[in-house]
Amino acid sequence: MTYRILLVDDEVDILEFIRYNLVREGYEVYTAQDGAEALETAAQCRPHLILLDMMMPRMDGIETCRAIRRNPELRHTIIVFLSALGEEEQQLAGFDVGADDYLTKPIKMKLLISRLQAILKRIDNATAESPAETGGQSGITVDGERHTVRCNGKEISLPRKEFALLELLVQSPGKLISREEIYARIWGTGVVVGDRTIDVHIRKLRQKIGEQRIVTVKGVGYKYEP
């Protein structure tokens, strides 16, 4: 399978350097120099992954990510920020608008390619491992094939990572799932993420499905209680 990647950055030198290296790795690569152009290109090429800068003219990364997540045709697209803004607040802001991951510049090309390879493996893993439907008896139905969630009869929209996390928890109601297992299953063992990444996603899930359904076992992990 040849993955399609859209690179979005207003610095042409960075854009071309990353594009050249990803093409050498066998990816089908598209580019855009600002958020507005990115939306047009994404609608045309339907990328598997978008590597998105934070600071750009016309539309910054936050606005662009938010707009992409509103497009139902791009709901399965993985969005990864690649930005010189590495502060925790900026990373949390990226996750809040639906980003799947956040990488900081500068980053060595070999490491970037390795991270993207690990991230793209999630597409195959999600297809292979997700059952068609889980959790129907608990008031929440998770449909892995259609990437839909119904909560108390109402369909709700979840970004990719929140969906995968909820699906993992709902598959084993009442079972404690450690933070380490969540990192490995959702983010992959080859990807390093911040300590608060899971906490941010759990907080956003609770806002959407109710505070009581996901129980925290402090210092250990989480479990889903129907």
- The string of pLDDT tens digits covering residues 127-171 is 444 444 555 545 788 887 777 888 877 888 888 888 889 999 988
**pLDDT category, 195, cuts 50, 70, 90?**
low
Q: What is the pLDDT of residue 109?
A: 93
- The alpha-helical segments, DSSP class H, found in 130-195 are 160-170, 179-182
Give yes or no for residue 92 having a pLDDT over 60.
yes
H helices present in 71-196, as ranges: 88-96, 109-129, 160-170, 179-182
Which positions ≥6 away from 64 have C-beta within 8 Å? 8, 35, 38, 39, 52, 56
Owner of token pair 């399609």: 4
Does position 34 have pLDDT exceeding 70, yes or no? Answer: yes
For residue 134, the model assigns a pLDDT of 58
pLDDT of residue 190: 59
